[in-house]
Amino acid sequence: MTEEIRQGFTLWLTGMSGAGKTTISSLVERRLRGHGARVERLDGDEVRKHVSRGLGFSREDRDENIRRIGFVAKLLSRNGVIAIVAAISPYRAVRQELRLAIGAFVEIHVDCPMDVLIARDAKGLYKKALRGEIANFTGVSDPYEPPLNPELVIDTSTETPQESATRVWNKLKELGLIDFEHELSPCE
Amino acid sequence: MTEEIRQGFTLWLTGMSGAGKTTISSLVERRLRGHGARVERLDGDEVRKHVSRGLGFSREDRDENIRRIGFVAKLLSRNGVIAIVAAISPYRAVRQELRLAIGAFVEIHVDCPMDVLIARDAKGLYKKALRGEIANFTGVSDPYEPPLNPELVIDTSTETPQESATRVWNKLKELGLIDFEHELSPCE
């Protein structure tokens, strides 16, 4: 049963609500699974229900939530799993803390101009936040601190989700984190 | 990079404070690592700091803490990792809930008669609890519900930690969860 333990890592997508983190992470996840990789996607909203019931959206609570997600990602990563995290994670300091704790940490800033986010607003959250109906809404009534040195910046107002996913993929190859012998096309 | 995904599972040690859960789980962990297996040990007290800061020891909070540990164990298990949990986990219903959620779930009741626990009392906790100085102390001022159908019961008043660890090991083999070609002796 002995086997070589493959390198796991954490792919961390940070960015504002509606920027496209979940869409891009799902595409990357699917492609990795297609190659037989061990992958676990940790979606911020989803994981919150499991490990952060009762926490709110103050800076302190957000940071605690992100630390918990980071703890899970770290355990997965060090056991050879690729943990893909899609979480707003607005504060730079805690992301930096996780980078140091996890080591194999790839930070992707999923960026999108505010006017495009407001125009999209699929869940109607920006309208509500702008009317003052949602407190602590990142980008409106709460800060978002973009990464200073992310491995990659994606602008989802100028590229399709497929293009973004391919850029993430190529970055992972460039960093030597993935290396598949027979590479599938993005659509397989 | 494609590889066969090995079966992970969750080895869950439940029992009262001081019964020997941590000692036995450490021995099993070391032996599994010696065989190159992917293992992650989740110790109740330790994991609490990471995912359950702020939770107390009411039934509701204990159950929430155990659900969070179970969530992490599930993610590890389904990615081929052996998750070893050592946690008092006094309530039967939530353990049963996790068994159903995780599937590959091996429950070990680490049992020890109360008089032996009180005589050992390495941390002096039982004395304090019996003096009424610790509220919600399992076995004294809080219930412990033993498993009805655990995969194994260990009585640490009648066997050494090494003997207990070997019994756990043999149970895992019997269940077909581990199968090493060249088995190391427990002392290697």
B176 in A contact zone (CB under 8 Å)? no
Per residue in B46-105, pLDDT (tens digit) is 899 999 988 999 999 999 999 999 999 999 999 999 999 999 999 999 999 999 999 999
A179 touches chain B (CB under 8 A): yes
Is residue B161 a contact partner of residue B112, using CB atoms and an 8 Å limit? no
If 0-12 CB within 10 Å is exposed, 13-18 middle and 19+ buried, where does residue B181 land?
exposed
- Give the residue from chain A lying closest to B50, CA to CA: A68
Contact across the interface for A36 and B6, Cβ inside 8 Å: no
pLDDT at res. B184:
62
Checking if the pLDDT of B23 tops 50, the result is yes
pTM, two decimal places? 0.91
CB–CB contact A1 B6 (8 Å): yes
Q: What is the pLDDT of residue B45?
A: 86
Per the CB < 8 Å rule, is B75 touching A79? no
Cβ-based contacts of B79 with chain A (< 8 Å): 38, 40, 76, 79-81
pLDDT for the residue numbered A1 = 38
Q: By CB neighbour count within 10 A (0-12 exposed, 13-18 middle, 19+ buried), where does B132 fall?
A: exposed
Q: Which residues of A touch B67 (CB under 8 A)?
A: 50
pLDDT value of position A3:
41
ipTM at complex level = 0.89
Give the per-residue SS3 of chain A: CCCCCCCCEEEEEECCCCCCHHHHHHHHHHHHHHCCCCEEEEEHHHHHHHHCCCCCCCHHHHHHHHHHHHHHHHHHHCCCCEEEEECCCCCHHHHHHHHHHHCCEEEEEEECCHHHHHHHCCCCHHHHHHCCCCCCCECCCECCCCCCCCCEEEECCCCCHHHHHHHHHHHHHHCCCCCCCCCCCCCC
Q: Which stretches of chain A drop beneath a pLDDT of 50?
A: 1-5, 188
Per the CB < 8 A criterion, the answer to whether A14 and A88 are in contact is yes
Confidence of residue B1 (pLDDT cuts 50, 70, 90): very low
Return all residues near B121 (Cβ < 8 A) that are at least 6 apart: B18, B127
Residue B79, chain A, CB below 8 Å: the answer is yes
Model pLDDT for residues B97-109, shown as the tens digit of each residue: 999 999 999 999 9
Question: Residue B120 has which token pair?
Answer: 């050992």
CATH number corresponding to B9-174: 3.40.50.300
Average pLDDT over residues B3-9: 68
How many beta carbons lie within 10 A of that of residue A61, not counting itself?
15
For residue B182, the model assigns a pLDDT of: 67
pLDDT value of residue B4: 46
Q: For the beta carbon of residue B48, count every other beta carbon within 10 angstroms.
A: 16
Q: Is residue A45 packed enough to be buried (19+ CB in 10 Å), middle (13-18) or exposed (0-12)?
A: exposed
pLDDT of residue B76: 97
Q: Name every chain B residue with its beta carbon within 8 A of the beta carbon of A75.
A: 40, 72, 76
Phi, psi (deg, nearest 5) at residue B139: 95, -20
pLDDT tens, residue by residue, B134-187: 999 999 999 999 999 999 999 999 999 999 999 999 999 999 999 887 666 555
* Closest residue by Cα to residue B87 from B68, B103, B74: B68
